[in-house]
Amino acid sequence: MPRRIDGNNALYHYIQKIILPRDDPFSRELVTRLILDLSIWFPPELYRAAPVLLPFCVRDSAIKGKEWGSPNEEGCLRDNNSILKLLVGSYTIRSPLTVVYARHARGRNFTASHAWRKISIEGRSQYATTHPKTYSFIPNLVWLPAQVAKLTDHEGSYAQRILQVVSHRIYRCHAHEHPPELASIWDALPVPEIELDFQTDHLSFFEVSARSVKMRRNILLREIELVLNTLETGQAAGDSPRSFRYLPALARIPYGQAAGLVAWLESYRDFLSVA
């Protein structure tokens, strides 16, 4: 029997295996337009107020079944991208591409993508998704239609580098508003030298009201306190954030073993408290 092809993958394979290998002005312009026109970003206002949305979470693609939501050895909640996907909730999309996005909420067949995959942070090379500072760092997050998102999964690809340039243009100018602990995250996110002519006000963004920004920051503060109190007392007090498995299992982790997470969360809590 001939192998069946999934029509949902046809666009990706066509661009990745036929168009991009040509490496000519048309192929680069096509990918550029797909990324610029169809990417959806968090607004800079949210980045300025709460640059890391899940500060105690990391991605662990190896987790299975009941392992999801439990902590790793350092105390970070292990996610499989499912918590990350929920971050946009029912936010509507503000877009100049009115026939495609304007005033709609994100639906099916979108992917929460990372602009940077492999990084070097705190003297260690790793995937950005495996570090609590970069897994949900807003400049590293973008929502893309699934077929377009696949183009950015190839390390060093033209599509991935475009995302990095766009992210840098949107957010880097606000880094000076953050303390060194947060501003230094950018050191792990190198920006490629690509000449790209675009204006950020022509991009698509999720609409996040000032009230939603405040609520997001307050939720983060509550969650961080729960995590820190659990590690300090060795007892799970209060509702477990994001996963019912997290705090009970976290209470069994020695405080010293999670020292890196504690230091990071305390620093981030201090920023959120005065932001």
> Residue ranges of the chain with pLDDT lower than 50?
none
d(CA 250, CA 179): 28
Cα 56 to the chain's mean position, in Å?
13
**pLDDT score at 117:** 94
**pLDDT score at 40:** 96
- Contact call for residues 113 and 147 (beta carbons, < 8 A): no
**pLDDT score at 213:** 95
For residue 15 the two structure tokens come to: 């661009």
- Contact call for residues 260 and 74 (beta carbons, < 8 A): yes
- Contact call for residues 47 and 171 (beta carbons, < 8 A): yes
- Contact call for residues 222 and 272 (beta carbons, < 8 A): no
Torsion 258-259-264-267 (CA) sign: positive
- Contact call for residues 230 and 247 (beta carbons, < 8 A): yes
For residue 23 the two structure tokens come to: 């490496």
d(CA 152, CA 72): 28
d(CA 93, CA 42): 10
- Tokens 């640059």: give the residue: 51
**pLDDT score at 1:** 67
Look at residues 212, 263, 260 and name the one whose alpha carbon lies nearest to residue 50: 212
- Contact call for residues 35 and 163 (beta carbons, < 8 A): yes
**pLDDT score at 23:** 86
**pLDDT score at 97:** 83
* pLDDT tens digit sequence for 207-245: 999 999 999 999 999 999 999 999 999 999 788 899 999
Half-sphere exposure of 111 (CA within 13 A, CB side): 14
**pLDDT score at 198:** 92
* pLDDT tens digit sequence for 181-198: 999 999 999 999 888 999
**pLDDT score at 19:** 87
User: H or E segment at 274?
Assistant: helix 259-274
